[in-house]
């Protein structure tokens, strides 16, 4: 076992915070914990986990608390934050500093604002675990989902997985899609009409994993995909797909798993509410030849998107899936508290972020934590690419737009495409909305004419 308290806490905010090697190591520890979970009470004695849930939860909260108790630790629960000091106006940053300052050794946080867990990690002296932030991510659910594929299929690489239902607002789907792409799995998107994967998710899948979306011929999925425009996403065959011209789309033949999701009505706008019948997985759909060997997964809770008659099907593993959340979360807690070693190389350190200078918040996401938590944490950005210069919100990861780029060292601003921008050190970058903002902040124009400005 390693030290009781790591000098610098490791946080689990995004599925990107865990390397593929670390995931495999966590699965191995989860297998060990699952063998007899009652025999590990000597793993985390004296440690306390705090559950800070600003949104309702059953499985995530209880599985984390069960995991901590089975490890021999204790739990503090704030499952209904409306009865906490939040109603008195306490900020998330202050709450985190108080709870992490002596009450608990690890914080499990669920929050409605996207990027809340990232912000919390900036203020917490103890590990922060993201238990869901808005519609952005749910990394421990993703680790649970991946672990279930590991148990049921023995591998994740190369699997064909159907994601069905509300793909727009489901944070579990977003995290899962990124992780599947990292493992080299193939994804068939079967969305509820109007609730397709967000553009920023598809864009990231394309840019980071070479995924090229293409229309899917999902007739072999039977009535599951009868009213949906299915899309095929794969990091395996990008060049083949770019040359694919069959109007019917890439034929879906056999799939390994169907991942159903409920309508995320708590995040739907009034304009998006619809009387259109939601996708439903029924017994007759499971008779499709392509689903013969497919396991049925669901992050739960469900509504009517999976018929009760499917529960008896041996391919349905969603209740096993929920139960396996305990051993994988035992592994996560033990790891972040320094009680087990994964014995794998550490992932690459995250790129630093910069504070946005005074002015309008450039993040386009109205649900971003930077728009609500303004007292202690202003907006920040990180660089996506240097040539051309692109940046994203450091909290919710949405790409931001800017009209000019300033250098805090020289006090000069340039057009985003100017050659001089490439010479600005990262820590001197200042993203500016327009010329008026540049002048207000004391920047002056570049002396030399900028050819890109005339283009």
- Answer yes or no: 138 catalytic: yes
Token duo for residue 323:
């139960």
Q: Is 5 a catalytic residue?
A: no
Catalytic residue selected from 24, 59, 97, 219 = 59
Going from the C-alpha of 379 to that of each of 54, 373, 400, the distances in angstroms are 21, 9, 11
Q: Is 382 a catalytic residue?
A: no
Task: Find the catalytic residue in 29, 70, 118, 138.
Answer: 138
Give the side-chain half-sphere CA count within 13 A for 162.
33
Q: If we measure between CA atoms, which residue out of 165, 161, 153 comes closest to residue 190?
A: 165
CA torsion, points 138, 140, 141, 144, in degrees to nearest 10?
A: 160
Provide DSSP, 92-118.
HHHHHHHIIIII-SEEEEEESSBTHHH
Under DSSP, is residue 285 helix (H, G, I), strand (E, B) or coil? helix
The reply to whether 59 belongs to the active site is: yes
Catalytic residue among 61, 110, 111, 339, which?
A: 110
Task: Respond yes or no: is residue 348 known to be catalytic.
Answer: no
Q: Is the peptide bond before 259 cis (omega within 30 degrees of 0)?
A: no
Give me the catalytic one of 38, 82, 88, 427. 88
In the block, tokens 């051993």 appear at: 327
| Residue 111, beta-bridge partner list | 133
The CA distance from 129 to 408, in Å, is: 35
Report d(CA 259, CA 318) in Å as an integer.
9
Furthest CA-CA distance within the chain? 74
222 Ramachandran zone, left/alpha/beta (phi>0; psi -120 to 50): left
- Give me the catalytic one of 60, 95, 140, 261: 60
Task: Point out the residues that are catalytic.
Answer: 59-60, 88, 110, 138
């Amino acid at each position: 076992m390693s030290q009781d308290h790591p000098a610098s806490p490791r946080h689990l905010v995004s599925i990107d915070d865990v390397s593929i090697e670390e995931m495999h190591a966590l699965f191995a520890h989860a297998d060990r914990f699952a063998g007899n979970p009652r025999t590990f009470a000597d793993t985390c004695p004296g440690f306390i986990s705090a559950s800070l849930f600003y949104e309702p939860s059953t499985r995530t909260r209880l599985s984390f608390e069960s995991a901590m108790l089975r490890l021999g630790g204790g739990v503090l629960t704030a499952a209904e934050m409306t009865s906490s000091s939040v109603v008195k106006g306490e900020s998330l940053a202050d709450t985190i500093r108080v709870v992490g300052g002596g009450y608990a050794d690890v914080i499990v946080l669920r929050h409605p604002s996207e990027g809340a867990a990232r912000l919390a990690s900036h203020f917490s002296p103890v590990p922060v675990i993201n238990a869901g932030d808005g519609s952005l991510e749910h990394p421990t659910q993703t680790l649970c989902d991946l672990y279930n594929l590991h148990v049921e299929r023995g591998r994740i690489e190369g699997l064909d997985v159907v994601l069905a239902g509300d793909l727009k607002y489901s944070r579990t789907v977003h995290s899962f899609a990124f992780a599947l792409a990292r493992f080299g799995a193939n994804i068939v998107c079967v969305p509820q009409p109007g609730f397709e994967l967000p553009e920023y998710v598809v864009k990231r899948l394309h840019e980071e994993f070479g995924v090229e979306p293409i229309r899917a011929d999902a007739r072999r999925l039977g009535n599951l995909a009868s009213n949906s425009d299915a899309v095929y996403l794969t990091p395996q065959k990008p060049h083949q797909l770019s040359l694919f011209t069959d109007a019917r789309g890439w034929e879906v033949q056999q799939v390994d798993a169907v991942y159903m999701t409920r309508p995320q009505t708590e995040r739907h706008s009034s304009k998006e509410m619809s009387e259109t019948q939601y996708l439903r997985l029924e017994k007759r759909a499971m008779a499709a030849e392509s689903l013969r060997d497919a396991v049925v997964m669901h992050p739960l809770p469900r509504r009517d998107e999976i018929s009760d008659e499917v529960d008896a099907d041996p391919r349905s593993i969603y209740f096993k899936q929920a139960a396996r959340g305990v051993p994988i979360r035992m592994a996560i807690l033990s790891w972040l508290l320094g009680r087990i070693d994964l014995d794998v190389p550490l992932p690459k350190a995250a790129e630093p972020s910069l504070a946005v200078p005074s002015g309008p918040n450039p993040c386009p996401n109205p649900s971003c934590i930077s728009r609500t938590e303004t007292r202690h944490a202003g907006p920040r950005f990180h660089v996506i690419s240097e040539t051309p210069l692109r940046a994203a919100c450091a909290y919710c990861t949405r790409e931001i737009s800017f009209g000019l780029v300033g250098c805090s060292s020289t006090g000069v601003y340039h057009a985003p495409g100017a050659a001089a921008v490439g010479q600005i050190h990262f820590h001197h970058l200042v993203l500016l909305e327009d010329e008026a903002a540049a002048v207000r902040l004391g920047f002056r124009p570049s002396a030399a004419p900028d050819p890109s400005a005339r283009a």
